[in-house]
Structure 1
């Protein structure tokens, strides 16, 4: 059965690797910067642009200047790195910049149709022109490190040829890593064929990545179920490391999911995934064949790759990419040693050693191929992902066969325990939930009782303190009448007694309302109100009453004209606050003075400020902290002709706090006062939007 599964998988992998992509023609090559593409009879073919391109070292030649600069151009073979280019002065360095140029004669089927170009990874920034028009960009090429922005990943570009001949100009710069130039081929063809080739590449990589992720997560799940066996953990880590490396190579699918990741960190992830993959592979083999692997050699490899990973983390790309050859060499040596361990296990007839050895040997071949490819020895493209996928697929079946019986037994036991405990768990959950709800209700009730208790205590204390003065006055007047000192029929004294009783009634009512506010016994009805309109309405309601004293009452709207502050308020309670502030201002402002009602936003634009400014005598600085305390009536600032109980501002402060706001006062002696409060904005909407 396993043989059949492996055979079907290899057939599927072979089909994916060889089908679905348009045919690639290598019949022609560029020579001396000129290329003539052959006619394609079927019209379903793409062409490589390999061959000799014109190259201007350390020069950015614009498309309009390129024909006049051909005398000093080099003719370089592509694809290749700059370090492969030989000049009279020797080999070119990898750091620098230059311009490539290629003239092309198109076949008839391309000249009359929309054409596409597949642009490989170019190190490390470029701009491509076709017929003096910018066709594609990647990063920003520059004449030095500070003026360029690195970026490299494949892309496709499409254009409509204006004639049967086109002119390609490519400006490239590299100052950030060890690689330069490009090491995979350019391709040109019809837009449909180029897109088909790109789709094929992407679908193949998606297949590999998804398969690797599924295998990795599956084995992580096995490790979670059986943490005592670490083989699935290391195998899952190997799968994920290869999946990440596949996302960062080829079509660089990583950018489709994480477009904002900086270029250098993507390069670090690519190198890290290689280190992590080798470490996980070494540990995985050790869990399978502990008696066949030398622990000192294993630890040596783990130390080497850990140090390399640390170096990648703390050094820039310009440094750690130079160690790529060492990383590749260490990876090859590590795989060679793993093969030695597996051959030893095979000789000793360990279980699963034959399949393990065959898969590892195939992986080693692909790793050697990629090492030669990335060092520009051969041009086969990245293939190690396919080799690793074949290896991991084989290993997944080996591990699955080992854990199937154990997982089955574990699941059966788990099912029995789950059925036995289900009833008990349900009972415990219901009772716990009920107890929690009961405790919360008791806690809320205790808080309410505590607030009510404190409110009653303070109420009784305030009543005994504040009712003393008017009661004493009433007793004195009545005693005088009884003793004949005051005429019992004198309406003046009767009116004084009556006024004192009214004061007692007001004190009692205010104390009762304040106690309700502080204990949470008041119910608010909140509504969304436009504060510009609301405050303006209050202004017109109180305008006549305030101006009756000979005071000028004005209204200032400082809200931005394009915005309205929408606040959630209880309109009746909020009018009580404004009425208190306005009537206080009227009380302390002399005739001829001014009271101003103001509405504006705070600096952070998250609250609305409503303020009342007056021309009264002001408040002493040391009295300002006590203004909103109950029964505070000030010292020299008290208006003797109008008696108050000192509870209005305390009530107003409690109402504002219940709205989530805060109160404040600014005043100087002899310069008037500014009482204000802030309310949080529940929404700021544009007028135009509201009108629509």
Structure 2
């Protein structure tokens, strides 16, 4: 681990230690002249035409103009002309100028062919070599109205001379920065073409690889939407693939020559600004415990705001934001590296690979920021760093999914082992359930018999109690009047016989009825009949109030009311010695049935629940009813209940 870190640190030191003074052993251009008389292309390779070029501000000179008539400034190439002091004027990115460089070479013959690699230049140019117009890109003009931008790297060939003249007109009215920001390279045609082809091959390889990885991981997300890391990574790969074809060799312009320059520039900036959001979101999805959520929200908000600024404003404004975003991006990458190192310390899955490649990517980013700012002269390393980062994270995700599949296989194997004994367990448990079901059925049958017997007993109790009470009253009356009025005594005995006969009929009906509600009864008439018979056979007065709203009750509730009234009348006569009852039955506004029966009997201080009251209580509980009994010595007896009507 220490060896790897040492190698990475050496890599960063090499990047930042590069200087501008040497170019394949040849001195840089000085005062608009570069001396390459000792240069042998086959042995020394291509050279970069870096150094001081003659700079003619606000002049568009061509080979027909006498350059000695003008006083040029010296400007370093590659660099932007922003900030250059010209006649007490600090230049901005907007304007036009002419660059000139004399290249001294030892040419064997005037027929010797040489080549130049011309990178993208902000934002239009025309190039003459030895007085011949060899390349142009965009439209060079003196104002925004007669100039138009275009990016397209070029390879041009020319016949070399001992003193080769390179004249370059540049105009910029669309970008915040103007000038030559990348290196112009001189070499033999084979060397320049090979270099160009190497760039093409590398970028196409990166583009194709990223597109494949983008689709692969997005499909993974579609199949498993809970894992957001695949989505962020797939979109990040897509952003990287898009950037590979809109920077450096500008393949998007090669494929679509009429593609809008402003739209291409917006896409270039969005790959950086919105890519930062996708990157930090991906790292958070991988190591959520290590990344502070507030820093994540802040970084995401900044990235999205910069992206919206690019979308909504013209190129001249949004290109001004790059320097500020580069500072933010460097700080964000340092924090992401901290998160990955912390995850590595905590031994999170895939943290070690992420940490190493993250450090390499941070070094590549620092290199490119300094390279494009003209501080160092190395190469554009960000595409390579990004590709390495993508490859490493793809490996991490593959390892993550591999472990998930491994867990699935282990669970499958465990389930198969369980299934081996599952059938026997199911058979045993089925047998146990059948036995339990048989025992439960037997218990339910016993309970059903018990409940049926209890119901019949309650009804027999109510019928016999009421019948015997009223019959007893009639017999007592007959005994008292038999010596005085034989006819009245016979009538009382006949009435007693009728009461006994009615009771027997009721008992037969109860015994032969195994289910309640078997035969419909006329509810209110049956209550009135019970009251009428009680008054007729006992000479007791019953004041009753039965509201018409109590119609259409369920048969079960009707029987509860009937038997409760029957039991209450019987108890009041037998035990209370009362002479008057007050009875009421109605339904209140909350749809509750109210029953009330009170008498003027002797009352009772201590209430004991006999069979009759217990039966009433049980019937009410079955209907979710509430029983209320009030009584005191010599103050009568009151029986009340309420039942919710569903």
Alignment of 1:161-310 (within 5 A): 161=160, 163-310=161-308
1:82 corresponds to 2:84: no
Alignment of 1:631-646 (within 5 A): none
1:157: which partner in 2? 156
Residues 151, 317 of structure 1: CA spacing in aligned structure 2 closer, same or farther, 3 A cutoff?
A: same
1:359: which partner in 2? 357
1:343: which partner in 2? 341
Residues 381, 66 of structure 1: CA spacing in aligned structure 2 closer, same or farther, 3 A cutoff?
A: farther
For 2:245 and 2:410, how far apart are their aligned partners in 1? 39
Give 1:227 deviation, angstroms. Answer: 1.8
1:50 corresponds to 2:50: yes
1:99: which partner in 2? 98
For 1:199 and 1:209, how far apart are their aligned partners in 2? 15
RMSD after superposition: 2.5
Deviations 1:58-114 (A, max 9, x none): 1111211143434x1222221121125344515422211111112222332584322
Give 1:393 deviation, angstroms. Answer: 0.9
Residues 138, 349 of structure 1: CA spacing in aligned structure 2 closer, same or farther, 3 A cutoff?
A: same
Give 1:156 deviation, angstroms. Answer: 0.8
Give 1:412 deviation, angstroms. Answer: 13
Could you tell me which of 328, 331, 340 is aligned with 1:330?
328
Give 1:211 deviation, angstroms. Answer: 2.1
Deviations 1:318-344 (A, max 9, x none): 000000112212211221221222222
For 1:229 and 1:91, how far apart are their aligned partners in 2? 53
Alignment of 1:12-27 (within 5 A): 25-27=24-26
Tell me the TM-score normalised to structure 2 length: 0.57
1:112: which partner in 2? 111
Deviations 1:334-368 (A, max 9, x none): 21221222222223222222221111111111112
Residues 29, 291 of structure 1: CA spacing in aligned structure 2 closer, same or farther, 3 A cutoff?
A: closer
1:69: which partner in 2? 69
1:133: which partner in 2? 132
2:134 counterpart SS class: strand
1:52 counterpart SS class: strand
Q: In 2, are the aligned partners of 1:242 and 1:274 still within 8 Å (CA)?
A: no
Give 1:189 deviation, angstroms. Answer: 1.7
Residues 111, 188 of structure 1: CA spacing in aligned structure 2 closer, same or farther, 3 A cutoff?
A: farther
Residues 109, 92 of structure 1: CA spacing in aligned structure 2 closer, same or farther, 3 A cutoff?
A: farther
Deviations 1:496-524 (A, max 9, x none): xxxxxxxxxxxxxxxxxxxxxxxxxxxxx
Give 1:278 deviation, angstroms. Answer: 1.1
Give 1:303 deviation, angstroms. Answer: 1.0
Q: In 2, are the aligned partners of 1:184 and 1:379 still within 8 Å (CA)?
A: no
Residues 110, 316 of structure 1: CA spacing in aligned structure 2 closer, same or farther, 3 A cutoff?
A: farther
Deviations 1:125-146 (A, max 9, x none): 1100112221000101111111
Q: In 2, are the aligned partners of 1:178 and 1:318 still within 8 Å (CA)?
A: yes
1:127 counterpart SS class: strand
2:475: which partner in 1? none
Q: In 1, are the aligned partners of 2:52 and 2:77 still within 8 Å (CA)?
A: yes
1:402: which partner in 2? 400
Give 1:155 deviation, angstroms. Answer: 1.2
2:37 counterpart SS class: coil
Residues 41, 275 of structure 1: CA spacing in aligned structure 2 closer, same or farther, 3 A cutoff?
A: closer
Could you tell me which of 386, 390, 393 is aligned with 2:391?
393
Residues 26, 236 of structure 1: CA spacing in aligned structure 2 closer, same or farther, 3 A cutoff?
A: farther
2:145 counterpart SS class: helix
Residues 207, 103 of structure 1: CA spacing in aligned structure 2 closer, same or farther, 3 A cutoff?
A: same
Residues 120, 26 of structure 1: CA spacing in aligned structure 2 closer, same or farther, 3 A cutoff?
A: farther
For 1:364 and 1:43, how far apart are their aligned partners in 2? 36
1:117 counterpart SS class: strand
Residues 190, 302 of structure 1: CA spacing in aligned structure 2 closer, same or farther, 3 A cutoff?
A: same
1:292 counterpart SS class: coil
Structure 1 residues not aligned, in runs of 5+: 1-22, 414-692
Alignment of 1:649-668 (within 5 A): none
Give 1:202 deviation, angstroms. Answer: 1.3
1:379 counterpart SS class: coil
1:604: which partner in 2? none
1:291 counterpart SS class: coil
Residues 260, 26 of structure 1: CA spacing in aligned structure 2 closer, same or farther, 3 A cutoff?
A: farther
Structure 2 residues not aligned, in runs of 5+: 1-21, 412-646
Q: In 2, are the aligned partners of 1:286 and 1:293 still within 8 Å (CA)?
A: yes
Give 1:193 deviation, angstroms. Answer: 1.4
Residues 174, 41 of structure 1: CA spacing in aligned structure 2 closer, same or farther, 3 A cutoff?
A: closer
1:265 counterpart SS class: helix
For 2:405 and 2:106, how far apart are their aligned partners in 1? 62
Q: In 2, are the aligned partners of 1:124 and 1:172 still within 8 Å (CA)?
A: yes
Residues 336, 272 of structure 1: CA spacing in aligned structure 2 closer, same or farther, 3 A cutoff?
A: same
Q: In 1, are the aligned partners of 2:39 and 2:105 still within 8 Å (CA)?
A: no
Give 1:290 deviation, angstroms. Answer: 1.3
For 1:347 and 1:223, how far apart are their aligned partners in 2? 29
2:27 counterpart SS class: coil
2:289 counterpart SS class: helix
1:108 counterpart SS class: coil
Residues 380, 90 of structure 1: CA spacing in aligned structure 2 closer, same or farther, 3 A cutoff?
A: farther
